[in-house]
Structure 1
Amino acid sequence: MIAPTRQHIFPQTIEPLTGVRFFLAVGVVFFHYQLFWVLPVEAAPLLNRARLGVDIFFILSGFILTHVYLTGDRPPSYWRFISARFARVYPAHFIILMGVLALILGANLVGVQIDHANFSTFDFVTSLFLVHAWFPTQHMANWNGPSWSLSAEWFVYLYFPVFAWIGLRWRERPLWLIGLAFGLFAGFDVAYQALFGSILTEAQENLGILLVVPEFIYGIGLYFLGQKINLNRLQASIFALGMTLLLLTAMHFHTDDRLVVAIAGPFMLSLGLLAKSGQRSFLSHKWMQFGGEASFALYLVHMPILMVWRNVIQKWFELEKTYRMGLPEVAILLTLTLIAAGLIHIWLEQPSRLWLRGLFRQKPAPMKLPDTAPLGDSKG
């Protein structure tokens, strides 16, 4: 017999889910690096699929925001939620976007030729307001390509009352939430293929909001499902190890993207249950926790650094634009990028977040939801 949800709460800080964020971000970094290094694509099939780490981030976001905001009888005030999310995500985005703008404006001064057609004013404005993944497009916005996922997340944040109502309404029926997520994903996938000729996991900036919606709901459903499951430390360890191996194997052997996304859900759940069982792992180490916290800065800054690095090396050594990076060069570039991300996180991201939260702090107003009671009771 399944005990009431309240008896199966997760710990306040789900450390494995923080630690794994570092590896997901590094995976995306290596995915972009392998487009420019000397090894052939088939030499690292796992890294070639690491771009799906963004999909896992979307699932994780639904899971964690449910943990932070939807475990009580009522959701938080909308102002409390949206101001906290803005303070969390916008400072790093704004700082790095302004840095890219400065680089583009100053490129000609140091003799670096920039194709300004790839850095249009329109793309800058849509990136600034985080709406560049909301509309159909025929090209990637080059101001900072990875920020498309932040734009998609921002859409979810703005409409969080809708997701909160769905989650609280079906919290005692998490399989319904997961079924809804799968149904929406399948429907959006069929429509996306009909409109653009590619599967939904390739949406990215081109209507990327269609990708984040079902994956975010998937994370909500997985959280409420996890509240109904109790595993001991051994069971949780076996589950987490098994799901990790399954996910990595699926990525390595070029399993369909959509199946990889489906497998990513139980993988994230297994890490949550690992924390719930009290079993600690290397993901709980203080350096993994710091890496997870700084992963957002790493994710946003790695492409501008890559762009600058390649332009400088190309000019310095008089190479072709198509030159391929050797592995020692990749190691140096990664080291510099990790250091830059850590410094941005400590010196810019954290202080600006605290400042904005203090600025926005005021008496919260209740979030307005449809007049219906949730089916059950129950860090961002």
Structure 2
Amino acid sequence: MPRIESLTGLRWWAAFFVFSHHMTNLAPLPIAPLLRYGTSGVTFFFVLSGFVLTWSAQPGTLARTFYRRRFARIWPAHALTLMAAVLVFYRIHPDPAMHWIKPLDLGVLLLALCLLQGWSYDPTILYAGNPVSWTLSVEAFFYFYAPYVQRATARLKATGGLVLCVVAIGLGCAYHLSRFHWRDTVPILPQPVIQSVAFLFGIGSAIALRSGLRPRIPFWATLILFASGICTLLYASRHAATFPLATTMGILQFEILTVLYGLMIVAVASRDLRDRPSLLRSKPLVTLGQWSFCFYLVHSPILYTILELHGKAAPGWSNLGWYTVVLTLSLITSWLLHQFVERPLERRLRAPRPVTHRRSRPSPPRWRSRRWRSASSGSRDR
């Protein structure tokens, strides 16, 4: 399938949205309540992951080959930034005033290294190592079952892909509503299971587009719809007593954002497939999108290092200066990590292994006739 470069550019804006939320811990802006929805940027990544993996899937790819490629894609950069994060987020005797610094625990760090921390809701475990890497443990679960989902959905067409999207959202809504009404009966599912709604929605969207569906949804319309959705969710959370359906919208916030991000991805992909012009395909944005994974991993340690040294700034628009400083340092570090760690190690680990053949026994001479073989076998029997 053709490569959709605009999605790479869109990845950068999702990473920046997450960054803008985390910056409120160091230098809050007057619009901090709105920026807290930057956490939903990870939902975008989950939808995009399902879409891209399905779009780029090649028939006949072995599961072990898929796993090796995914390991090469995320683990080297994750392992390196984890070691750096230990210096920022862990102490033998942490200062109680710095709530983000935790006591050193090798067992918890081992869980983070193996990308298993996302299965716990204990903040000490969930945010172990590099705090943002809990999303990678969710992605690791997606990667585990992705080959089997691809086999099961290989024959689906556009209608089947859309049905998969509806079913995924329906299951997510049913779970969150039942969890709200029967809290003591419905168990709490771990994050990798809950977040699978976004991943499956991305898979269904990609199946529909692979089958020839080309919805003419303007990208600007999805941006307006997304901005309206974020503002409505914010208003509903602040005026729950007077806003109709405020409680329901709060319960189903994850599913609402999944649909909004999914529509945005479909609009961008459909526009690229129709060869329409796109600013997201520009070289600067594509380059930033290529760095976005490293940017996502490094910005938190840099931010909290400055927080420990400087302290939290008072809210105000003057904090845009801090945004510039942290953004610049994070971009430089992400470029170095991408250029000298992520890209070279991914290429080396993704390279196919050389095939070694066992030494086989020499085959019998081909000049022997069938009559001779039957006669000789008969003499041996006698």
**Match of 1:244?**
223
Residue 213 (structure 1) shift: 1.4
Report the AA paired with residue 215 of structure 1.
A
- Asked if the contact 1:18/1:289 (under 8 Å) is kept, the reply is yes
Query: Which secondary structure does the structure 1 equivalent of 2:164 belong to?
Result: helix
Residue 47 (structure 1) shift: 2.1
Query: Which of residues 267, 274, 293 is equivalent to 1:270?
Result: 267
Report the AA paired with residue 278 of structure 1.
D
Any unmatched runs of 5+ in structure 1? 1-9, 315-320, 365-380
The answer to which structure, 1 or 2, has the higher relative contact order (CA under 8 A, 6+ apart) is: 1
Output aligned runs, 1:206-245, within 5 Å: 207-229=190-212, 231=214, 236=216, 239-245=218-224
Query: Which of residues 15, 20, 28 is equivalent to 1:30?
Result: 20
Any unmatched runs of 5+ in structure 2? 235-248, 357-382
Query: Which of residues 30, 44, 65 is equivalent to 1:56?
Result: 44
- Asked if the contact 1:301/1:337 (under 8 Å) is kept, the reply is yes
Output aligned runs, 1:130-209, within 5 Å: 130-137=115-122, 139=124, 140-172=126-158, 173-190=160-177, 193=180, 207-209=190-192
- Asked if the contact 2:66/2:147 (under 8 Å) is kept, the reply is no
1:102–1:44 Cα change, 3 Å? closer
**Match of 2:292?**
295
Query: Which of residues 326, 330, 341 is equivalent to 1:333?
Result: 326
1:284–1:214 Cα change, 3 Å? same
2 CA distance for matches of 1:176 and 1:115? Answer: 43
**Match of 1:368?**
none
2 CA distance for matches of 1:363 and 1:58? Answer: 35
1:63–1:104 Cα change, 3 Å? closer
Query: Which secondary structure does the structure 1 equivalent of 2:233 belong to?
Result: coil
2 CA distance for matches of 1:104 and 1:247? Answer: 34
**CA-to-aligned-CA distance 1:9-50 (integer Å, 9 cap, x gap):** x52x1011110000000110001112332434xx25542212
Residue 219 (structure 1) shift: 0.6
- Asked if the contact 2:15/2:295 (under 8 Å) is kept, the reply is yes
1:164–1:363 Cα change, 3 Å? farther
- Asked if the contact 2:26/2:303 (under 8 Å) is kept, the reply is no
- Asked if the contact 1:133/1:207 (under 8 Å) is kept, the reply is yes
- Asked if the contact 2:51/2:202 (under 8 Å) is kept, the reply is yes
The sequence identity of aligned pairs, in percent, is 27
- Asked if the contact 2:51/2:205 (under 8 Å) is kept, the reply is yes
- Asked if the contact 1:167/1:177 (under 8 Å) is kept, the reply is no
Q: Provide the alpha-carbon RMSD of the alignment.
A: 3.2
2 CA distance for matches of 1:307 and 1:107? Answer: 18
Residue 143 (structure 1) shift: 2.0
**TM-score, L = length of structure 1:** 0.77
Report the AA paired with residue 341 of structure 2.
L
**CA-to-aligned-CA distance 1:306-347 (integer Å, 9 cap, x gap):** 111111224xxxxxx686683312221111111111111111
2 CA distance for matches of 1:191 and 1:144? Answer: 33
Report the AA paired with residue 152 of structure 1.
V
1 CA distance for matches of 2:341 and 2:140? Answer: 20
Query: Which secondary structure does the structure 2 equivalent of 1:280 belong to?
Result: coil
- Asked if the contact 2:11/2:292 (under 8 Å) is kept, the reply is yes
| Structure number with larger C-alpha Rg | 2
1:39 to 2:29 alignment: yes
Report the AA paired with residue 23 of structure 1.
W
1 CA distance for matches of 2:195 and 2:211? Answer: 25
**CA-to-aligned-CA distance 1:53-112 (integer Å, 9 cap, x gap):** 111111111110001115xxx34111110000000000110000011224467898xxx9
2 CA distance for matches of 1:132 and 1:239? Answer: 39
1 CA distance for matches of 2:340 and 2:28? Answer: 35
- Asked if the contact 1:92/1:349 (under 8 Å) is kept, the reply is yes
**Match of 2:246?**
none
Query: Which secondary structure does the structure 1 equivalent of 2:122 belong to?
Result: coil
2 CA distance for matches of 1:241 and 1:52? Answer: 19
Output aligned runs, 1:29-108, within 5 Å: 29-40=19-30, 43-69=31-57, 74-103=59-88
- Asked if the contact 1:16/1:284 (under 8 Å) is kept, the reply is yes
- Asked if the contact 1:27/1:51 (under 8 Å) is kept, the reply is yes
- How many residues in Structure 1 have an aligned counterpart in Structure 2? 331
